[in-house]
Amino acid sequence: MDLSADQIGLSVENLGKTYHGVTKPLFSNLSFTLGRGGRLAILGRNGQGKSTLIKMLGGVLPETEGRIRWRMSSSWPIGFGGGFQGSLTGLDNIKFLARIYDRDYRETLDRVDSFAELGSSLKLPVKHYSSGMRARLAFGLSLAIEFDCYLIDELVAVGDARFQQKCQEELFQHRADRAFMMASHDTHLIARHCNRALIIESGKAKLFDDIEEAVDIYTWLRAA
């Protein structure tokens, strides 16, 4: 799928990742573009590098080679709570991020509190949060601050079924005009909401413009 220069929100060129002390790259020569409003699935069996790619795109991990160029605002990886300061309370983390992104603190707090449903737990240090509570806080903040593109790592892992439905409605319905990249094993979710897919397998990546073909191949790889 060809995009004009002004339609491209993300450009990835010859991206590669090799962890320190490991000779074989996790993946290499990965190149693709994401349009403004594009919805790209990242598929791959466990250990192939899906979460690593999401963290690299979100600035959490550095690339070993290649280049990532953002031309639209992107969220941190939703589902990753490593960006919070553990000794600070949820309230203080909200205040800190609101200041960084130049948002009104009270408005940001109200939106996070309404969505994340953490209640009095916001007064506790984040280091005492469960992984699910951290994910709720991260998700609530990313929706409160608003981004052009959302980076999602296993959306289904966030909260119970009711909260997952709430997350899906906020992302896929209320932000239907936004771009996102989603790493997930849920092929039904992928097929319903994504229009392209990147499959990572054995250090290589292949881009598919046909989402149904990508899901079929990924399903075959998982069964192999």
Give pLDDT tens digits for 179-204: 999 998 889 989 999 999 999 999 89
Cα angle 195, 199, 203 (rounded to 5 degrees) comes to 155
Name the residue ranges covered by the structural domains of the chain. 12-73+149-224, 84-146
Q: How many residues does the chain have?
A: 224
In this predicted structure, the answer to whether residue 8 has a pLDDT above a threshold of 80 is yes
81 Cβ neighbours under 8 A, 6+ residues apart: 126, 129, 131, 134, 135, 137, 138
In this predicted structure, the answer to whether residue 211 has a pLDDT above a threshold of 80 is yes
- Asked if 24 and 18 touch (Cβ cutoff 8 Å), the reply is yes
pLDDT-based confidence at residue 95 (cuts at 50, 70, 90): very high
Half-sphere exposure of 128 (CA within 13 A, CB side): 11
CATH architecture for segment(s) 12-73+149-224:
3-Layer(aba) Sandwich (3.40)
